[in-house]
Structure 1
Amino acid sequence: MTGVRLHNVEKAFGAVKVIHDVSIDVPKGAFSVFVGPSGCGKSTLLRMIAGLEETTGGKIEIEGRDVTHEEPAHRGVAMVFQNYALYPHLSVFENMAFSLRLARAKGAVIKEKVHAAAEILKMGDQLDKKPSQLSGGQRQRVAIGRAIVREPKVFLFDEPLSNLDAELRVQMRLELARLHREIGATMIYVTHDQVEAMTLADKIFVLKSGYVQQAGAPLHLYDDPDNQFVAGFIGSPAMNFIPAKVVGQAEGRLIVRPDGQENVTLGAKTTGPGLADGTPVMIGIRPECLNPAETGLSATVEMSEELGGVSYLHTRLAGGRPLVVERRGIREMLEGRVIHLTANPADIMVFDPDGRRLR
């Protein structure tokens, strides 16, 4: 069953349209993530599902029920914000219980639900404290607990970890994944951080300029992107892109010559239908797919980023285009040296001048 379904949803602020004809299905019980750069419309889309923004066009359904014009309180959703939005004068218990008191729930019910949420979030010994006495991660747990006690059909998270430091973000990602496994609710999470998207999501929706570029499982988007934007956005470090020209085809492979590499040709596992010799294309190679070779792409090493078990060579091709190379188990210092690199044809993606993937 579908948890949330959007039919041709649009949103405009005056004459400016920010969401364009979006139709998506969010599976019931799945952890789905809206990801994209700042200004792509992901938070606006989340707020439309919550009822905090009116739709200009289209329809929104939650578990088969049309909620397009319903008030937020009647949609069966609970939202967790980036800034926690806790009441500083109330205890943790009272912050979690606030919506239940507004709904005039009985005291025994409130106590049961708050303690159950606190147990899930490992906050049982913090219920008497005020928000000022808590760490950032604990405050975020309280905000999540406030959502849990409402027993919503859908949890909505709007960049909830943005205010946390790097170590705490990793810890909270693990806790969110555990929380999802325990309660099994439909969750929609908004972030600009593709690492968060990859590690948390069952299904990712990649947005750009108010359009959904591609949707699918994290590794599917990584291995088989539909266009250059998705290929460059999913993956860290980002995919390398090199302008090239078609010079022929052989054995089911497209043969290309990278710009500025006159004596180098690479074969990509695509037939490139309809591409004549001389056609400009963009080839994409992930950093981990580049291998040292006696001949191949010629690049000058500018810096080595040593991270312990893995290192990244930041190089520059002839013509000035940057290229990142991943290395494991090798600590040879190469700054200032020229190295040669190649890649297996199956690891080279090809995109047409409009950014569409050629398969």
Structure 2
Amino acid sequence: MGVQLRNVRKVFGEVGVIHDVSMDIPTGDFAVFVGPSGCGKSTLLRMIAGLEDTTAGAISIEGTDVTNREPAKRGVAMVFQSYALYPHLSVFENMAFSMRLRRAPKGEVREKVLEAARILQLEDHLEKKPSQLSGGQRQRVAIGRAIVRQPKVFLFDEPLSNLDAELRVQMRLELARLHKQIGATMIYVTHDQVEAMTLADRIFVLKEGIVQQAGKPLDLYDDPDNRFVAGFIGSPAMNFLAGKIVEREGESLRIAIDGTDALVLAKVSGDIAPGTAVTVGLRPEHLDSAETGIPVTVEMAEDLGGVSYLHTHLPDGREVVVEWRGSRHAGGGEAIRLTCAPEQVLVFDKKDQRVR
């Protein structure tokens, strides 16, 4: 069952922000909505929570239509970007607050709060006030407040965006462990594709209120449907170079890269005529140096120890980023040529759709 959306739309005044979205999130899955700012991912999450009305379509949770139900009756708990903790209450009281409102028995309240504190490693902080906690601990308290409600679905709206880089990595691991421990359905919103790749069972990539593609993280990475998904999933981002089909060579296309003397092979079975303008997608980690290939000049190298990122440019100035592992690379000014295995070269048509 899980969470199901059928032809869901949202309109603010005359402006449509969610366009005919349908999706199935099985019970127990960790689903991530990812996309740039303004793509509608938080609006979609708030519609599932009941904090935004649904203009059209239907939303079901565990087989029950909740499209017009009040938020409190949907069986969901939401964790926001801001911790929204009561500063005058202890960690225990913050986590117990919703149960107190429901007049739950004291013994039940204590049992559930202590269990949530154990899961989140907050047992030594229950008597502290939020001001005495770190950012990561405050976020765990906010998650604990959701856990004690024992919802059918957990909703996370960019919960890690206020944390520093080290804490974000730590909290990602804690969220992954939490999901394994409690096995609940979780829906998570982020603009950070690294968070999406590391947390999700299933990713929904949104752009302008439309789901561009949905699938397992590595499926989206290996086999994107369009240029937007290809460029959004993966870090550093994919390189895109304009080119033109020269000829078919067996199961591959020979493509001339604009502004260079380079030809690349792409393993594509689709019927596409010679002379057709295309865009070639090359991931930085799939590029390697060779005697023949795409000519670039190294401008700068970001040396991070085990890996370096070479920022290079083509003769016409277009940038190409190369991931370099192992041996240390020389600095700027060096001319090199780049190659990529045909099965790792992606091809997109003039409408930015993938040619397979």
TM-score, normalised to structure 2, is: 0.99
Secondary structure (helix, strand or coil) at the match of 1:353 reads: coil
Partner of 1:149: 148
* Distance (Å, rounded) in 1 between the aligned partners of 2:29 and 2:259: 46
Identity of aligned residues (%): 70
1:356 aligns with 2:347: no
Which consecutive residues of structure 1, in runs of 5 or more, have no partner in the other structure?
Answer: none
Partner of 1:62: 61
Partner of 1:90: 89
Matches within 5 A, 1:1-359: 2-261=1-260, 263-273=261-271, 275-359=272-356
Secondary structure (helix, strand or coil) at the match of 2:150 reads: coil
2:239–2:282 CA contact under 8 A, matched in 1:
yes
| RMSD of equivalent CA atoms | 0.7
* Distance (Å, rounded) in 2 between the aligned partners of 1:282 and 1:303: 25
Secondary structure (helix, strand or coil) at the match of 2:2 reads: strand
* Distance (Å, rounded) in 1 between the aligned partners of 2:316 and 2:58: 50
* Distance (Å, rounded) in 2 between the aligned partners of 1:332 and 1:80: 44
Q: Which amino acid aligns with 1:169?
A: R
* Distance (Å, rounded) in 2 between the aligned partners of 1:151 and 1:271: 50
* Distance (Å, rounded) in 2 between the aligned partners of 1:332 and 1:199: 29
**Alpha-carbon distance, 1:288 to partner:** 1.0
* Distance (Å, rounded) in 2 between the aligned partners of 1:70 and 1:88: 31
* Distance (Å, rounded) in 1 between the aligned partners of 2:269 and 2:147: 51
Which consecutive residues of structure 2, in runs of 5 or more, have no partner in the other structure?
Answer: none
Q: Which amino acid aligns with 1:184?
A: G
2:7–2:22 CA contact under 8 A, matched in 1:
yes
Secondary structure (helix, strand or coil) at the match of 1:231 reads: helix
Secondary structure (helix, strand or coil) at the match of 1:237 reads: coil
**Alpha-carbon distance, 1:272 to partner:** 3.7
Q: Deviations over 1:113-145 (max 9, x none)?
A: 100100000001101010001000000000000
* Distance (Å, rounded) in 2 between the aligned partners of 1:332 and 1:45: 45
**Alpha-carbon distance, 1:331 to partner:** 0.9
Stretches (4+) displaced over 2 A: none
**Alpha-carbon distance, 1:332 to partner:** 2.8
Secondary structure (helix, strand or coil) at the match of 2:230 reads: helix
**Alpha-carbon distance, 1:277 to partner:** 2.1
**Alpha-carbon distance, 1:68 to partner:** 0.1
* Distance (Å, rounded) in 2 between the aligned partners of 1:124 and 1:298: 59
TM-score, normalised to structure 1, is: 0.98
- Alignment length (residue pairs): 356
